[in-house]
Structure 1
Amino acid sequence: MSNAIQFAILGMASGGLYALMALGLIVVHRTSGAINFAHGAIAVTAGYVLFYGEAQGIPTPVAVTIAILAGLLLGVLIQLLVMTPLRNASTLTKAIATLGILVVLQAGCQLKFGSQPQLVKNFLPQNGVTILGAYVTVDYLIMLAIALLLAAVLWVVYRRTRFGLATTAVSDNEEALGTLGWSSTLVARGNWAIAGTLAALSGVLLAPTTGVSLPSMTTLLLPALAAALFGRLSSFPLATLGALLIGVTQSELTFYGQSPVLRDLPNLPEAVPFLLIIVILVARGKTLPTRDFVESRLPALGSGRVRPRTVLPTVAVAVLLIQWLLPLEWVMATTSTLIAAIIVLSLVLLIGYAGQLSLAQLSIGGLGALVTSRLVASADWPLPLAVLVGIAAAVPVGIVVGLPAVRTRGATLAVVTLGLAAALNSLVFSTVKFTGGDVGLDVGYPSLLGFDFDETTYPRRYALVVLALLVLVGIGLGNLRRSGLGRRMISVRSNERAAASLGVNVAGAKLSAFVMSSVIATLGAILVAFRYPNALFTSFDPFQSVNYVVQSVIGGVGFVPGAAAGGTLEPSGLGSKVIHDIGLGDWLTLVGGVLLLLTVIFNPDGMVGSGLAQVRSAKRRLFPAKASSSASDGVVAVDSQAGAAPDRGAVNVLAVSGLTVEFGAVTAVDGVDFELRSGEVLGVIGPNGAGKTTLIDALTGYVPAKGSVTLDGKQLLGTPPHRRSRLGLIRSFQSLELFEDLSVGENLLVASEKSTLRTAVGSVLRPKRPTLDGAAAAAVQEFGLGDALAAAPGDLSYGQRRLLAISRAVACNPTVLLLDEPAAGLDDGDRQALKALVRRLAENWGIAVLLIEHDVDLVMSVSDRILALNFGAVTAHASPDEVRRHPEVIRSYLGEDDAAASTGTDETLERSAQ
């Protein structure tokens, strides 16, 4: 029992260090909304500074002080040089930037101190005390006390002081903070300085216990991230509690690790943070983001067009170089680049197309490669069959990784994948009985149908095989970009809420991306494992996956050719070869990290993206006519036989009864009842905060609601938004929420095209020119968008963007259309056109229209009935004439002057008629 208590106290001390790290993560998140993946690197860098100071004979107290000040300085420099230029960037972009900082710090420490762990002298008291029969040294108690004290101090500072309140205001509204006389830049810089100091303090306290090593940069980060998430990235006390729980759990698992149940899992304690992260995100996450969620604006996307006149000569030149011209050492460097490019292609699909940041691609692929290797080495399976099984084994892993993506997004998802990579490294790749350790698995020499292509004997053949696979995967990804499945993935990347409103299964699109990217990553990992007769898995660690993210962003994560460009930065690739030849081989990783930071700040579309943009710009200047004609090439086609509004036949009825939405103690929608039939327009009016948009959110499934919502007798409550859309309940958004990464025609295609597994696979293998037909083609004619199908939504006028938002909803062939303030921002001419358009949709198309609008004249003139809301409750439900004379509506919304004006107008019209 005393041993268990002793390990619990030791675990609490470790948890205290995790808490210090977690507190710093929360401080950064409070001021920038970002997750700092370089936080562990700052801690370890401070540990190296302490080691260096002691090695130079500097007194320990002075060395400790210098190390902590180094963390403070790093925090300030990161905010000044990286975060200030990125202050208007998305949180996902900021997270990627911190990955670059992680790479830079790790590479710098490795250049200076090498890869071996460095020992630091104990500077805290080592005398022991007995607590509940357990003997522990005082230094552990001191570390725990420091963590608890700082957590309490930070809690008071950020809740009770003006600086703490200003910190919260920085992330909420910088402009408002400026009007109060605060400098948002200085507040952010102060917070980064505090975060850097906390990280450095934890690194300095940990150094004498475990030593200072490069792997600690990520292994120390993961428990801190788990603790910070436990505290919702905002609560210092909860984060501290979470850190202590993690520390104690890890320590107790270490103590009981020799039990028969746990003996075969010696690294299980290291997986605890990952398991906690999964539980937290599954419990707290949301399937769709809330209305105030700001979508991440990711780098630009390529068109996906496969141009034979470009691809064939490029491949021919590569074959010529590999087979005849390049020396063998350059051939092997080319092989490394090509394999890296295949793994990076998995990130082009996942990050570029689907907008999901993964830090576990190599780990996932490595698991499939391990299955393949063991089948070949232990069961003597033929290589092709083993490869198929290995790839199949990666599919469920991709699903497991993708499941948290269903309920989280952005940088938080990256935390999950980093945790998975660390867990796989601890439980699988570090277990000798699975991987063979430093000896590896004897897989022999790869051969297919008598064709030997092992790199040891036939390096040129191996390179050609890898090149062929890269070309096939690249063409497949280009086809995917232009397919219906690809468009749905990109719609999810652009705007999850809008995608769901058009019938896109957001969860399905994300899981598809994770599964497909896992297959590609596994293919690349198998090529890594089978380069030599003994497959080694010692390098399948989380940091290698981070390196591939670096390569993808530098090359151009939205472009298939960007994978090849990024692959040149592979440590044994062409870039490494060039740098080695000029005598700077050890600097490659540092160069890659610096390039990532420069790319994120100055060139977010990557080398290929910016290069293609410059080529297109030059073509437009030199050959304007040719550029115009080529721009229209490959435009979405419109069925020439379509164009008439669809015939609905039967009358459809949306029936709402007792609809109620509650947010805590606030009732946003209070017992609303109405019926809406085909061909009718129901106007909804009310003051700001009346619950109008929440009503639409409840009807379409974006917020939980009570009561009853039926469409033609089918109960809709409890069904997800995309299923309601497929049943005919379609909405638009007040803020438009267009898919900016897709053309006008592709926006309409997402709404109109139906896809099955067969058509999805077929379009990837052999894509066809997409065609708008049915309601989508009719919408193009109705809204006059025929000449704008190839344009980007951002190139349209505001009025045209409004029309596109409505036409995209109409392209779904809705039974019921819910329009949320469609006239906002339109001029008088566009408003008059909108009136006629709404009536045509009701009368000619047979659509039941629910219209929310602040323009009283417009909504009164176009609606058959009016539903007036105030504080979520119905104040009137009648004809327009009756509603604008209703006393409660006049008092709460119209006002006496407007009511008098309306009455006077009516009386004048009546006298004129007489």
Structure 2
Amino acid sequence: MNEYLLFLVLGIGTGALYAALAQGVLVAYRGSGVVNLAQGAVAMYGAYTYYELHRAGRLFLPPIPNPLSLLEGVTAWFGADLSLPDIPTFVGIGGGSMPVVPALVLSLAVAAALGYAMHALVYRPLRTAPPLAKTVAGVGVIIVLQSTIGLRFGSDARSAESILPDQPIHMLGGIVKADRLWLAVIVVAAGIGLWALFRFTVFGLAARAAAGNEKGAVLLGYSPDRLAARSWVLSSVLSAAVGILAAPFVTLSPTTLTLLVIPAIGAVLLARFESVAVATIAAIALGMVDQLLILLLRKPQFGWLPSNGSRELLPLLVIVAALFARGRSLPVRGSTEIERLPRAPETRRPVRLVAVLAVVFVVGQLTLGYEWRQALTVSAIGTVIALSLVVVTGLVGQISLCQMAVAGCGAFFLTRSAGDWGIPFPLAPILAAGVATVIGLVVAVPAVRIRGVNLALVTLSFAYAVDQLVFNNDDLVGSSADAVPAPSPSLLGYKFGPLDQLDDRGVPSVPFGIFAGVVMIVAVVAVVNLRRSNVGRSMLAVRANERAAASVGIDHVRTKLLAFALASFLAGIAGSLLAYQNSGRVEPTTFAVMTSLSALAIAYLGGISSVGGAITAGVLVAGGLSSTVLDKVMHMGETEQLATGALLIVTAIANPEGIAAALRHTGGVIRHLAGRRRTPAPVVEATA
């Protein structure tokens, strides 16, 4: 019995970390109505800021692309070597390591500035935007913060010194570090302070009033903008503080703290986004159960529990249970107006579009060198992924943050079915897409009852669980070193894998690039026809208003399930292409949680509601044509992720329909102006 109690006590530190992030999410939501998916990223940013200040007395600066990089790329084409001046990356303060207190104060000041910047530059312009725009803006913030840390510190984990007393405490037959317990005391005290703040102060009462009815708060003389700014600052400072305090016993890396927002949101959902006390208690309990699972997995009587993914599956179960128990999970704020979702226009001249794509891929694969042919292939696969998001998000309005996880299920099944079981092509990728479809239908079950940000939380936690439960579980997918690779795709004895039919230009082979282009074109034609069909119009009706659609006989449940099935089938096809591209092997990192977030980001940036937007997203995908241009022409490849996150935020604010819509609008203006120049002026005849 003492052993079980010991592991519960060991989980208090982890639960305290969850609780502090949950408090930050709750404070931001109370003030602005935004569920901040980047709360863990803010904690990570604050922890790295303190780490570098305390270690070396340096404050790192956000990376700014060198505007002269384009000039460097142009001169390189002519054989010249242009040396650019370096842009400062760190600012030295004090000439050495900084003491704990000044480093902590300065780090919290940076966090406060970050919180205000998030409010002023990101969420205030999106105050009346639909949930999709706010969600992708949060993804953009995560990408910007993570890429900033990656550029400054790399992806390797780091160890930080403990600020709190960390002497060992002997209890229950084991050892517990004191800093975990001190962190829990601090977080509970912070929870009591927040409860008093929202209960007794003018700011807290006004924030509660705005959360209940924003219009009423305006009529009473309270500024929602000012309340939101204070909430964002307080939320960021709170998260950064706990990130700094918890860094010694949590791996300090760009990903670990970022993903801890998932169990924190589960605790906030259990608190119905209202009670600080319930959120704090629920988060600490989640942390304690998380550590208890470590013990249970060692016990023979609990051998039925999956060795990988059980701990990551817990937040998913909590979130789904909380959403289904409540039904309408998030309180609705009375805003002055709400913008509409991006338009989903029909594709004009689809035959010409298909012809252009075919010519580009065939000519490009036959004439270009290795790097550009590889970029074309990656862009084709990225387009198929983006098309799956066009179906489920652009046509039906369901926010899915797990498309790459669904694609990964298809990819792993392909390697197992084709490599271990010997199922031939094309049956193996079709079966893999079918498995992905089944997985997508499982994800679609919550979508029958919930949507918007609620569904985004479910799909994000699903991707988080599948990453460990499936992709990193050797019992299910086998070790990547020992697995039998899937053989190259072949028809009538002709192999067209990336290592087959090679010429002097190297890999990937030209036939495989053309094969990827053909699959992409077939997917484009399928989605174009879907948008034009009665099914597509039913999807748009459900997206606009489910009740109105039901009143004219449209079954919104069946429509949502069909959309998820079609989108998952496309994702499974894309996963199969990725498996073939990697010589029949699959790496779990290809389908990690952050990859799913990046997929939504790229699809939204290109234009998530149109086929043209999906093609644009394929160009923008990492490793695609835009990456090659940035790296080889502009010498800015290392800042690609940072630029993607920043462009995503700008797109969500200024042009929700994406780059493709902006290009379409610009082309229409140019054609209109050209037509006016060609039209002769009307002749007016004189009359008597």
**Equivalent residue for 2:556, pick from 497, 506, 511:** 506
Residues 182-581 of structure 1 aligned to structure 2 (within 5 Å): 182-260=222-300, 261-262=302-303, 264-285=306-327, 297-323=340-366, 325-439=367-481, 441-458=484-501, 459-539=509-589, 540-581=591-632
Structure 1 residues 218 and 517 mapped into 2: Cα distance closer, same or farther (>3 Å)?
A: farther
Structure 1 residues 31 and 580 mapped into 2: Cα distance closer, same or farther (>3 Å)?
A: same
1:311 partner amino acid? V
Q: 2:272–2:330: 8 Å Cα contact kept in structure 1? A: no
Structure 1 residues 451 and 217 mapped into 2: Cα distance closer, same or farther (>3 Å)?
A: farther
- Asked whether 1:117 is paired with 2:167, we answer no
Q: 1:550–1:593: 8 Å Cα contact kept in structure 2? A: yes
Specify the SS of the correspondent of 2:176: strand
Could you tell me how far apart the structure 2 residues matched to 1:382 and 1:295 are? Answer: 51
Q: 1:68–1:204: 8 Å Cα contact kept in structure 2? A: no
* 1:297 Cα deviation from its structure 2 partner: 2.0
Counterpart residue number, 2:203: 163
Counterpart residue number, 2:190: 150
* 1:437 Cα deviation from its structure 2 partner: 4.3
Could you tell me how far apart the structure 2 residues matched to 1:355 and 1:186 are? Answer: 31
Could you tell me how far apart the structure 2 residues matched to 1:111 and 1:206 are? Answer: 23
* 1:121 Cα deviation from its structure 2 partner: 0.9
Q: Which deviations, in whole Å up to 9, do the C-alpha atoms of 1:145-195 show, x marking residues without a partner? A: 111111121112112221012113334555543454433222111000011
Could you tell me how far apart the structure 1 residues matched to 2:374 and 2:431 are? Answer: 27
1:577 partner amino acid? T
* 1:471 Cα deviation from its structure 2 partner: 0.9
* 1:337 Cα deviation from its structure 2 partner: 1.0
Deviates more, 1:272-281 or 1:103-112: 272-281
Counterpart residue number, 2:55: 55
* 1:131 Cα deviation from its structure 2 partner: 5.0
Q: 2:44–2:258: 8 Å Cα contact kept in structure 1? A: no
Q: 1:38–1:99: 8 Å Cα contact kept in structure 2? A: yes
Could you tell me how far apart the structure 1 residues matched to 2:564 and 2:330 are? Answer: 18
2:428 partner amino acid? A
Q: Which deviations, in whole Å up to 9, do the C-alpha atoms of 1:297-349 show, x marking residues without a partner? A: 211212144532343134223321222x2112210111011101110110011
Structure 1 residues 132 and 318 mapped into 2: Cα distance closer, same or farther (>3 Å)?
A: closer
**Equivalent residue for 1:589, pick from 641, 658, 664:** 641
Structure 1 residues 217 and 570 mapped into 2: Cα distance closer, same or farther (>3 Å)?
A: farther
Q: 2:18–2:264: 8 Å Cα contact kept in structure 1? A: yes
Could you tell me how far apart the structure 1 residues matched to 2:583 and 2:166 are? Answer: 50
Q: CA RMSD in A?
A: 2.4
Could you tell me how far apart the structure 2 residues matched to 1:407 and 1:69 are? Answer: 42
Q: 2:31–2:224: 8 Å Cα contact kept in structure 1? A: no
Q: 2:210–2:333: 8 Å Cα contact kept in structure 1? A: no
Could you tell me how far apart the structure 1 residues matched to 2:316 and 2:473 are? Answer: 18
Could you tell me how far apart the structure 2 residues matched to 1:386 and 1:317 are? Answer: 28
Specify the SS of the correspondent of 2:207: helix
Q: 2:22–2:280: 8 Å Cα contact kept in structure 1? A: yes
* 1:92 Cα deviation from its structure 2 partner: 2.7
Q: 2:29–2:35: 8 Å Cα contact kept in structure 1? A: yes
Specify the SS of the correspondent of 1:530: helix
Could you tell me how far apart the structure 2 residues matched to 1:133 and 1:12 are? Answer: 17
* 1:9 Cα deviation from its structure 2 partner: 1.1
Q: Which deviations, in whole Å up to 9, do the C-alpha atoms of 1:226-250 show, x marking residues without a partner? A: 1111111222112112212211111
* 1:595 Cα deviation from its structure 2 partner: 0.8
Q: 1:435–1:537: 8 Å Cα contact kept in structure 2? A: no
Could you tell me how far apart the structure 1 residues matched to 2:479 and 2:237 are? Answer: 38
- Asked whether 1:70 is paired with 2:110, we answer yes
Deviates more, 1:185-194 or 1:119-128: 119-128
Structure 1 residues 399 and 373 mapped into 2: Cα distance closer, same or farther (>3 Å)?
A: same
* 1:13 Cα deviation from its structure 2 partner: 2.1
* 1:575 Cα deviation from its structure 2 partner: 1.2
Q: Which deviations, in whole Å up to 9, do the C-alpha atoms of 1:674-719 show, x marking residues without a partner? A: xxxxxxxxxxxxxxxxxxxxxxxxxxxxxxxxxxxxxxxxxxxxxx
* 1:560 Cα deviation from its structure 2 partner: 0.3
Matched residue pairs, number?
626
Point out the structure with max Rg over C-alpha. 1
Q: Which deviations, in whole Å up to 9, do the C-alpha atoms of 1:204-238 show, x marking residues without a partner? A: 12210023112214421111111111111222112
Identity of aligned residues (%): 33
1:232 partner amino acid? R
Q: 1:437–1:538: 8 Å Cα contact kept in structure 2? A: no
Q: Which deviations, in whole Å up to 9, do the C-alpha atoms of 1:325-379 show, x marking residues without a partner? A: 2112210111011101110110011111010111100101111221111011111
Q: 1:562–1:608: 8 Å Cα contact kept in structure 2? A: yes
Q: 2:414–2:486: 8 Å Cα contact kept in structure 1? A: no
1:422 partner amino acid? Y
1:317 partner amino acid? V
Could you tell me how far apart the structure 2 residues matched to 1:129 and 1:236 are? Answer: 30
Counterpart residue number, 2:61: none
2:461 partner amino acid? G
Structure 1 residues 493 and 587 mapped into 2: Cα distance closer, same or farther (>3 Å)?
A: same
Q: Which deviations, in whole Å up to 9, do the C-alpha atoms of 1:261-312 show, x marking residues without a partner? A: 3475133112210111111112222599999898772112121445323431
Deviates more, 1:451-460 or 1:185-194: 451-460
More helix per residue: 1 or 2? 2
Could you tell me how far apart the structure 2 residues matched to 1:288 and 1:579 are? Answer: 41
More strand per residue: 1 or 2? 1
Specify the SS of the correspondent of 2:122: helix
**Equivalent residue for 1:93, pick from 133, 142, 153:** 133
Could you tell me how far apart the structure 2 residues matched to 1:109 and 1:141 are? Answer: 29
Could you tell me how far apart the structure 2 residues matched to 1:601 and 1:335 are? Answer: 31
Could you tell me how far apart the structure 2 residues matched to 1:210 and 1:196 are? Answer: 19
Structure 2, unpaired ranges of 5+: 57-96, 502-508, 680-688
Could you tell me how far apart the structure 2 residues matched to 1:365 and 1:310 are? Answer: 26
Residues 642-657 of structure 1 aligned to structure 2 (within 5 Å): none
Deviates more, 1:136-145 or 1:519-528: 136-145
* 1:514 Cα deviation from its structure 2 partner: 0.8
2:610 partner amino acid? F
1:89 partner amino acid? A
Structure 1 residues 365 and 259 mapped into 2: Cα distance closer, same or farther (>3 Å)?
A: same
Q: 1:91–1:296: 8 Å Cα contact kept in structure 2? A: no
* 1:393 Cα deviation from its structure 2 partner: 1.1
Structure 1, unpaired ranges of 5+: 628-914
Could you tell me how far apart the structure 1 residues matched to 2:493 and 2:339 are? Answer: 50
Could you tell me how far apart the structure 2 residues matched to 1:480 and 1:155 are? Answer: 51
Could you tell me how far apart the structure 2 residues matched to 1:423 and 1:25 are? Answer: 21
